[in-house]
Amino acid sequence: MDSPPGKWSCGQGLDEPTSPNSEPIITDPRPRDLSAVSHMDVQGYRWVCWKVWLCHFGALCTLGLLLVLFKWRPRLGIWARCTSCPIPMADVLLLKDRYGQQFVIDVLTEEIEEGSLEFAVADTDENEWRDTVQLQTEKKTVLRYYVFEGMRYIWMAKKGAFCKASILNEDWTCSDLHGRQQGLSRAEQTARKQIFGANIIDVPVKSYLQLLFEEVLNPFYVFQVFSIILWMSDHYYYYAACIFIISLISIAVSLYEIRKQSTTLRRMARLVVNVTVRRDNGEEFVSSEELVPGDCVVIPAEGLFLPCDAALLEGECMVNESMLTGESIPVMKTSLPVSGATYSPESQRRHTLFCGTHLIQAKGGGADGKVSIAVVTRTGFFTAKGDLISSILYPQPLDFRFYKDAVKFLLFLGVLALGGTIYSLVILSMSNTTWNKLIIRSLDIVTIIVPPALPAALTTAAIYAQNRLKRCGVFCISPPRINICGKISLFCFDKTGTLTEEGLDVWGVMEANGTGFGELVPDPHLLPPEPMVSALASCHSVALLGGQPIGDPLELKMIESTGWTLMEPANEMGLDLEFGRHRVLAVMRPPASELQSGGTSVSQPVAILRRFPFSSSLQRMSVVTVGPGGGSPVAFLKGAPEMVASFCLKESVPTHFSPTLREYASQGFRVLGFAFKRLANETALSTVERVEVEKDMNFLGLLVMKNQVKPESAGVIHTLKMAHLRPVMVTGDNILTAVNVARACGMVLSHERVIFVHASPPTACSMASLQFHQGDGVIVTINTQEAMDVQAQGLYQSGAGYHLAINGVSFAALCDHFPEYLPEILMRGTVYARMTPDQKTQLVKALQKLNYRVGMCGDGANDCGALRAADVGVSLSEAEASVASPFTSKSDNISCVPLLIKEGRCSLVTSFSLFKYMALYSLIQFASVLILYTEKTNLGDLQFLFFDLVLVTVLAIVMGKGGPSDGLHPQRPSASLLSLPVLASLLVHTVLLILAQVSVLLITVSQDWYVPLNSTNTGAANLPNMEDTSVFVLSGFQYIIMSVVITKGYPYKKPLYYNVLFLVTLLVFFGIMIWLVLFPHTIIHRLLELYDIPDMSYKLLLVAVAALNFFICYLLEILIDRGALNCLRNFQGKHESKKQYKRLETLLAETPSWPPLNQPLFSPQCSSIGVS
């Protein structure tokens, strides 16, 4: 981002001065506020020699602890060793990304040949926003850059910031790309490679030594090292040795998993192949690492795995993009049209070949028709694949309350540990303890109160849930998001292929005849020979692979209904003598010897010469065809009926077009419109532009297809609604078709009304307007009195709910001109139709701004952006995992959604239970140690070992194994660890546990046979003794009973008895503790240093106290769970929810006159009724 004064960066080294006369090597005359620069806050610093040496000395004196601190807090390291300076003089940068995370990055320099940058940047024009080049007055020309998250940022002085290297080619036009078909010279390629770097997505796989160093410097392991040293100094050798061994095993497993994941990701990301590129002196066979933006790549007919993003200039390619999108159906890519429009990979997706995708086959283009060619537009991490890999390597920090509260609670435990330390200092100093023992014992309190196994315990629940999901065919690449699934409050669904079947059945064809439509023809075989049947047969992107047609299921079904056969030219140039030696992409032939309806005429074969592919943003596709002999060129157009009609001559569109379309769409049919135009014979068919082909068309008719709702959809939607989870449909289909499907799957119930939202942008003669109306989507005119009657009667809320439906055009106008109404419409919107992929992403983000936890389920094709933007994205794909979304389901229906939510809730509740258990375990041991310190004794080495490793660790592992309940409860589990029920539960249990331990100690002391311990010794040297034995026995029972008390079952988990392993473990541990208490002294008792108390009545009393402790804690936990503390909230009064969507819900419930039906609202005069 632009750097303000004082926030600069870039330098030349510790001892190398920067010449004051040096000039930046790259300057950019674009206005500063319009330049696309780094999205990060960048501050520049220079090394200061004496500070650096002073820090080295400090690190030596602190045995490296100072360097550890600098690693944890990068800003401190920079401040300690550097001084702030302007960016052009900096050696090191302090970056702060959009999430507030800080990074220290070195500025790199690279010498380049003088004048070589002239090749690296496009030709400049002073009237255009182009990057220009100036040479330094120094003898050397130095490029300054840094690499962050795989992307290279270069210094551009005119912008006053580091910019992504991709900025140098971001404003290429389609014409510019076509002008690069001859390729780059060797000098140009070398210069560009110095700027952009090697074309490789290199996932770093660190050595085990590096990983070990980084892992050991983790705060958790630093704390472990500190604890082990402390225990060793206090002669807890067994315990320290066991923790050391367990830590080593944990580190080894962690290093293995990290390296395994890195290796797998590197194997998936790294793609190096040999490609043929054009140079000024001919073609060369080079490694893909040498590719740079501007290189012209020759694509072989048999295809290849593409190592870069490229614009297809000539020919056609069939591409499998499943690795990026999760969509298993191959996509046809066609050549980029020549135009002055700025090239964008997103808007020209159908002409763009993406890195990592598999080009299954390529057909030649150009004058010779022999080869397909493409120009490289992006390389390395700048590609679409690189962006996705980067999102995995450097994920967005999870904004989840549970994780934030966990850190806050640990800080609270730290404060508690400080209090315990002070108490122990006072108590131990009163017993004449030596200073070294005093310090060791006091610090030991810190290792007790902060559970070292807490991070591992919290991941247990997610690991169990991940394994259960995997067994059900749902794969997860981001386990922390499993807990977030438990808080989902709204789920968006794509329609086609998600809620409805992917395949369609042809219902019939309606041809336009004059001013109206003919009868619905159920079988396209019965259509007259021309031209509707030719449009159905030829207007598609289906291709042959191994003799089998592949492509969109809709188009396959359309061709199948005609009975025509797809053929492709046998010769590599695609020339076909039958069609006038035109270069042919495909030939459609009618059924042999099949007569049409008249019985006298057979349709003629059609050759497809050009394809202008379908895209979600354009909502249409077109083809150019010729008949036998190469004459009679005809263009066909297919797409959304409204879009097709807008490209047709007005007189050719039937007068009843809209009512007819509404009739079929409202019944849930998928409707496509067709049009045609005869082209002049002299038209240059190989170069004619799309805009010329698609204008002034003649409307042909409608293809009506039945899209069946998947049998599982209605049940899943019903389950979600019963659980108070709001379902929303986001589709690219017609709004009436979408509403019908919403009714069919239960999103909109039969008694609920649908209100259509129509927003229009301003025009030359009208203001932007917004209107709400009922009916079939048509704006109706109603007089003012009728509108007032509607408001007074509240027709749309008279005992029935209502849903809003809006299309993409209105959604865009709403966001641009009526943002104050957007929150209220989002609150009631259920159907979003004709939405482009970008609008789907925009919708998800808008819902998140209302504090919804948003899930998104789609087939991965046009939903990638929304799937990644959502809190939980689920891609329905046959692949085990794709980078399109955090979750991938092998099932082809939405039945995975309730499963995912149930597992998320189970994992979240289990994480809560484990957190509470680990906290209570620490508090139990904390109380035990302080009580025993007061009595001048302590737990023994093996006693600690028995509690921590045998009891607590095993219980924590097995208690999280319970699975989710079968149903979805209407109430979602809490995500706050600092809520009143959780804190009250911990407080009450802690008090009861301490009282129980104190009671047992007092009971022991009051016995006639009680023998006081030796007051001349302190700590574990006093073992065995009666005080320690009594506290040990009760605390052992407490560890076990608390695992039962805080293990939650209904309504989010199955009852405890379903967790057989946990149940068996409980019985075994209860048996062990009862045996230790009641049975005669054995070698185990002596190893644990337990005192042999012969009084059986006393022993039974200990067991009874433990049982009473269990009963009271269990009863109180149930009361707290059932809302016993709600009375405290009543005293505080009602608090407004922090979630915006809940506040809006309350507001809308109190506003029965909203939305105002059939009353046009204008911007900006009209203000919002609700809260924006």
| Residues assigned a catalytic role | 494
Report the C-alpha gap between 1048 and 960 in whole angstroms.
10
d(CA 58, CA 919): 36
- Cβ pair 893, 713 in contact under 8 A: yes
Rounded to whole angstroms, the Cα distance separating 977 from 988 reads: 15
Closest CA to 758 of 824, 794, 812, 798: 812
Which distant-in-sequence residues (6+ apart) come within 8 Å of 764 by Cβ?
none
Residue 1048's SS3 state is coil
Q: Which amino acid is at 981?
A: P
873 contacts: CB under 8 Å, gap ≥ 6:
855, 856, 857, 866, 867, 884, 885, 886, 887
Backbone angles phi, psi at 609, to 5 degrees: -100, -40
Q: 106 Cβ partners below 8 Å, 6+ apart? A: 91, 92, 93, 146
Q: How far apart are CA 877 and CA 892, in angstroms?
A: 7
Give me the helix-helix angle, 896-934 and 1026-1045, nearest 10°: 160
The tokens for 227 are: 């604890």
Instruction: Give the CA count within 13 Å in the CB-facing half-sphere of 910.
Output: 34
Residues 203, 392 contacting (CB under 8 angstroms):
no
- Cβ atoms of 319 and 286 within 8 Å: the answer is no
CA distances from 1 to 39, 128, 704 (A): 5, 22, 51
Beta-bridge partner residues of 285: 276
Give ∠ CA 241-244-248 in degrees, rounded to 5: 140
Q: Strands across the sheet with 102-106, in order?
A: 82-84, 41-47, 92-96, 102-106
Instruction: Residue 757: name the closest of 717, 695, 797, 802 by CA.
Output: 802
C-beta separation of 276 from 285 below 8 A: yes
- Return d(Cα 568, Cα 546) in angstroms, integer: 11
Count of CB atoms situated within 10 Å of the CB of 469: 23
3-state DSSP percent of the chain in helix, strand and coil, to 5: 45, 20, 35
- Contacts of 213-217 spanning 24+ positions with Cβ under 8 A: 215/251, 215/254, 215/255, 216/251, 217/68, 217/71
Per the DSSP assignment, residues forming a β-bridge with 804 are 755, 829
Closest by alpha carbon to 1023, among 1108, 1076, 1085, 968? 1085
In this structure, what DSSP letter does residue 2 have?
P
Residue 575, number of CB atoms within 10 A of its CB = 14
CB-CB contact of 734 with 704 (8 Å)? no
CA distance 771 to 767: 13
